[in-house]
Structure 1
Amino acid sequence: MSRESFDVVILGTGPAGLQAAIHAARKKVAVLVLGRQPQSSLYKAHVENFCCLGKIAGGDLLGAGREQAQKFGAQMWDEDVLEVTSGGEGFVIRTESGREVAAKSLVLAMGISRNKLGVPGEKKLLGKGVSYCVDCDAGFYRGTKVAVVGEGSAAFSGALTMLMVASEVHLIYDQASVEPTLAGQVEAGGIFVHSGRKVKAILGEKLVEGLELDNGEILEVEGVFIELGAKGAVALAGTLGVMMDPESMQYIAVDKKQATNLPGVYACGDITGPPWQVAKAVGEGCVAGLEAAAYAKDRRG
């Protein structure tokens, strides 16, 4: 499969990512935005404290931003990112459909995951068999039976990762929302798939001992990976070597130019920490987009 090249690739379709795309594209560089807009925390919310606008539905605001970015030349691919690596003079991004993209600079605007199952045992057994990051914790479950929960690309790719580590892998989801290529890999991989099912409870006293599904079935597992949506900041940034906030290890550390510790990589929006406000996301996206475009232009040769 051929690899497409862009000057700036933006991960995330929320207000930070879209604003970065608008400003980068206006600088006449090739811009690609990756992600599924309904995954943005703003998509189903309403905004009434953003300067110069009255109350507006989040989905409408994002839709307008998407149109603006496209008007200035940015391309939009409605798919998630599975992997980002450094390669040659820039970065290589692999998407859930199997496509590969080369970029001179990156803008990380994936937001943060606020999604939890909200089932009995989840909070109590966090760190004792319950994890929210396959890429971070897979090695602790070598040779064990595990379950991955989620209907998006993070869960499906996570199940494939665990297949190389664990002795038995279960994937549990209600309705899948992934590209056919990724779904096909899971179907052919020897993973026990429980489609149309939800987790009722996570079982165990001091450590995870199993899962109860909504049909009453009990799965005997030692690890439960809750991966709801797309891959998050910790998973993607960690593989690149991007520095996280040392106090929380949840947010990406940036300077006043939204630059990370890695040259050519910028971050903006919720992924850089609170407050969780559209105004902050848009302001940081503006700076990140301009800086990423300037960096890419410098490396055109």
Structure 2
Amino acid sequence: MQNPTPYDVVILGSGPAGIQAAIHSARKKARTLMLGRVTNSSLYWAHVENYCCMFKISGEEILRTGREQAAGFGAEFMEQDVLSISKQDGLFSIVPENDEVITTKSIIIAMGTTRNKLGVPGEKRLLGKGVSYCVDCDAGFYRNDIVAVAGCGSAAAGGALALTQYASAVHLVCDKLDIADALKQRLKESSVTIHEGRSITEIKGENAVQSINMDDGSNIDVAGVFIELGAKGVLELASELGIALDDNMRYVTVDRKMQTNVEGIYAAGDITGPPLQMAKAVGEGCVAGVEAAVFAKRLKRD
């Protein structure tokens, strides 16, 4: 299903950069939607004591208050992670977990940069030798191989489904699936083998990944392990859209208007690079929100 009227601005990310962007774009009367789970923001679990004009305050309270402000200006919210983005006929199409296609004139990426690791033996040593943090980047290297995906969120579920187009067998290892019902149903109807209630304890191999050990003592022979903890990250989305990254392939490159090399796509917050501070995120979110709204309104006139 597709939303009948395109949004002016869709913001990916639920942290301070995204909220500030939502406040400013909505104040400019741009139809604004924020996508993402608030608990995915690293600020949600933190306490802040170095932000201007505030004494120590919980990140959860900051985000709650910010969302109320944005909602007061008309911003909408959807607690769903993003699975894919494409562009067609001048509009961006975003597919969240519930498979509802959302169209928009502009996008602000404010998802942060944390790439969670399993922290198990073999993970660091075999990185690039079968261990990967990006299904979209590396799936093609595992045609007709057996692979495993570690994670319980949308990135893991979506990655496992994507890998079925390449690998001969896909194992999804997770403690407890935490995804929308529509995505869970797609997963269960696929060829993916789900090991729910399990976790990987070791990734084994000499010069390349050969197998994984799990906490129940079992062992699965695999050629690759994709670690996808949380929501889909910048590497995956950038590869889909052709967004330019920095030389280390970690941060999104933007100009002073927070615009990327792709017209209509902006970025703000930790995803644009250090310092990884709320003050910077809020400032960049302000600029991105204003510029994205102006861009969308210009499209209306054209």
Same fold (TM over 0.5): yes
**Alignment of structure 1 residues 114-125 onto 2, 5 Å:** 114-125=115-126
Q: After superposition, what is the alpha-carbon deviation per residue over 1:48-107, rounded to whole angstroms, capped at 9, x for unaligned?
A: 100001111111111111111111100000001111111212211111100111111110
**SS of equivalent residue, structure 2 residue 173:** strand
**Alignment of structure 1 residues 66-215 onto 2, 5 Å:** 66-215=67-216
By how many angstroms is 1:195 displaced? Answer: 0.1
Structure 1: state its 5+ residue gaps.
none
Counterpart Cα distance in 2 of 1:205 and 1:89: 48
Counterpart Cα distance in 2 of 1:257 and 1:216: 53
By how many angstroms is 1:114 displaced? Answer: 3.2
**Alignment of structure 1 residues 239-250 onto 2, 5 Å:** 239-245=240-246, 247-250=247-250
Counterpart Cα distance in 1 of 2:21 and 2:33: 11
Identify the residue that residue 298 of structure 1 maps to in structure 2.
298
**SS of equivalent residue, structure 1 residue 181:** helix
By how many angstroms is 1:20 displaced? Answer: 0.2
Q: After superposition, what is the alpha-carbon deviation per residue over 1:183-229, rounded to whole angstroms, capped at 9, x for unaligned?
A: 11111101111001111111112111111111111011010000000
**SS of equivalent residue, structure 2 residue 45:** coil
Q: After superposition, what is the alpha-carbon deviation per residue over 1:249-286, rounded to whole angstroms, capped at 9, x for unaligned?
A: 11100001101111111000011111110001000000
Counterpart Cα distance in 1 of 2:189 and 2:291: 43
Q: Which runs of 4+ in 1 moved over 3 A?
A: none
Aligned residue pair count: 300
**Alignment of structure 1 residues 19-58 onto 2, 5 Å:** 19-58=20-59
By how many angstroms is 1:2 displaced? Answer: 3.3
**Alignment of structure 1 residues 259-278 onto 2, 5 Å:** 259-278=259-278
TM-score by length of 2: 0.98
Identify the residue that residue 256 of structure 2 maps to in structure 1.
256
Q: Which amino acid aligns with 2:31?
A: A
Identify the residue that residue 64 of structure 1 maps to in structure 2.
65
**SS of equivalent residue, structure 1 residue 291:** helix
Structure 2: state its 5+ residue gaps.
none
By how many angstroms is 1:113 displaced? Answer: 2.3
**SS of equivalent residue, structure 1 residue 43:** helix
Counterpart Cα distance in 2 of 1:56 and 1:88: 45
